């Protein structure tokens, strides 16, 4: 397996760099879509905002399909897989998987008398 790097657009120099950016971009687009869907499903938005949100979700879905196609095509030309890239991402941000503990929340509470 080739070395997986996450680089800026200016530093992109290999097909593997591009593949890693496509995989991480797809993860980002998926997360954005989930935030919009949850905000809408929880009734946080006005009627106009909800309709706008649905359009955003539709556009993100369309863009994700394009990313998926490009990612598949590019990964076929490399020795890495999407799973390799996701594992590398997970190794870089393990703290994001953990939920804050009760201790952290309790230190922010103030008692009232």
**Which residue, among 30, 37, 17, 16, has the nearest Cα to 68 in the 3D structure?**
30
Measured distance CA(4)–CA(110) in Å, rounded: 46
In this predicted model, what pLDDT tens digit does every residue of 30-48 receive, in sequence order? 999 999 999 999 999 999 9
> What are the tens digits of pLDDT across the range 73-108?
999 999 999 999 998 888 877 655 555 554 444 444
Domain ranges for the chain, please list them.
17-93
């Amino acid at each position: 397996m080739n070395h997986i790097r996450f680089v800026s657009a200016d530093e992109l120099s290999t097909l593997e760099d591009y593949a890693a950016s496509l995989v991480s971009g797809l993860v980002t687009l998926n997360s954005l879509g989930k935030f919009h869907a949850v905000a809408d499903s929880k009734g946080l938005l006005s009627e106009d905002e909800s309709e706008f949100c649905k359009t955003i979700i539709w556009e993100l879905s369309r863009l994700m399909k394009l990313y998926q196609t490009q990612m598949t095509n590019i990964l076929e030309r490399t020795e890495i897989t999407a799973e390799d890239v996701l594992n590398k991402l997970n190794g870089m941000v393990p703290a994001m998987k953990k939920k804050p503990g009760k201790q952290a929340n309790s230190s922010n509470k103030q008692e009232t008398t």
